[in-house]
Copies of this chain bind each other. A is one copy, B any other.
Amino acid sequence: MSSDRAAKRLTHRVAYRGRLLTLDVDRVREPGGLEVVREVIRHPGSSVIMPITADGRLVLVRQYRYAVGDFLWEAPAGHIDSGESAEEAARRELVEETGYYPHRLQSLLEFYPAPGFTDERMHLFLATELEERQPLPEEDERIEVRLFSVPEALRMVSAHEIRDAKTLIGLALLEERLTGR
C-alpha cells in the first residue's frame, strides 16, 4: 500500500470484539482529503474451494445460515486460522466439511465479498485429485454434502437455489467466463 493510497487514521475505537467478528469505528482522512467515520468488520480472510471429483462433479455443502434465516447451498469455505496460509486453510476446511482431501489445489482468484464494510478477502481455489477421508465438522456446524454436475449447479443458480456470492463466482470461473479467454 503506497502512501498516496493509505488513509490516515485519526481516531480508532474497537466497538465490539466477539467470537468471530471485531468491529472498528475509525475516524479517518482518506486519500483526496475526505474526513469521515468508517465502520469496519475486521476479518482474518477465508478460503473458498471448488472441489471437482475425478468424474467432473462439484462438491457443495448445505447448512443453516442464521444471518439470512435459511439453508444455503455453498462452496466449502472457512476462515484462515492464525499462522495458516490460504492453501492450508483450503485443505483443512475441505476435509473438515466434506471429508475430501485435495491432493491438488490451484488458486483461481482473490476477491472482496463486501469491501464497503469488511476487510475480508476470499481466496478461491480449484481442488482436484480428491481422496475420501472422514469429515470433521466444527461444533457449531451441521453440514450436508452432495455432488452436482456443473450443469446441475448452473440450473440451481437460475432456480435461485444457489444465492451465495462466493459460490456464484466459483461457478463463473469454472465456466471460464471471468477471464476474457
A34's partner among B23, B113, B142, B165 (CB-CB below 8 A) is B142
Indicate whether A115 reaches chain B with its CB closer than 8 angstroms.
Answer: yes
Indicate whether A21 reaches chain B with its CB closer than 8 angstroms.
Answer: yes
The answer to whether A7 touches B169 (Cβ under 8 A) is no
Indicate whether A114 reaches chain B with its CB closer than 8 angstroms.
Answer: yes
The answer to whether A69 touches B1 (Cβ under 8 A) is yes
Contact with B along A69-95 (1 / 0, CB 8 A): 111101000000000000000000000
The answer to whether A142 touches B30 (Cβ under 8 A) is yes
A140's partner among B25, B34, B122, B171 (CB-CB below 8 A) is B34
Number of interface residues, chain A, beta carbon within 8 A: 69
Alpha-carbon distance between A168 and B71 when the two chains are bound, in angstroms: 24
* Chain B residues positioned under 8 Å from A160 (CB to CB): 110
The answer to whether A172 touches B168 (Cβ under 8 A) is yes
The answer to whether A110 touches B163 (Cβ under 8 A) is yes
The answer to whether B20 touches A18 (Cβ under 8 A) is no
Known: A32-B142, A65-B116, A110-B163. 20 other contacts (CB 8 A): A7-B64, A16-B16, A16-B23, A18-B25, A19-B37, A34-B64, A34-B140, A34-B142, A38-B66, A38-B67, A112-B165, A113-B114, A114-B118, A115-B163, A155-B180, A157-B178, A158-B179, A165-B169, A169-B169, A177-B178
3 tightest A-B contacts by CB? A177-B177, A172-B172, A154-B180
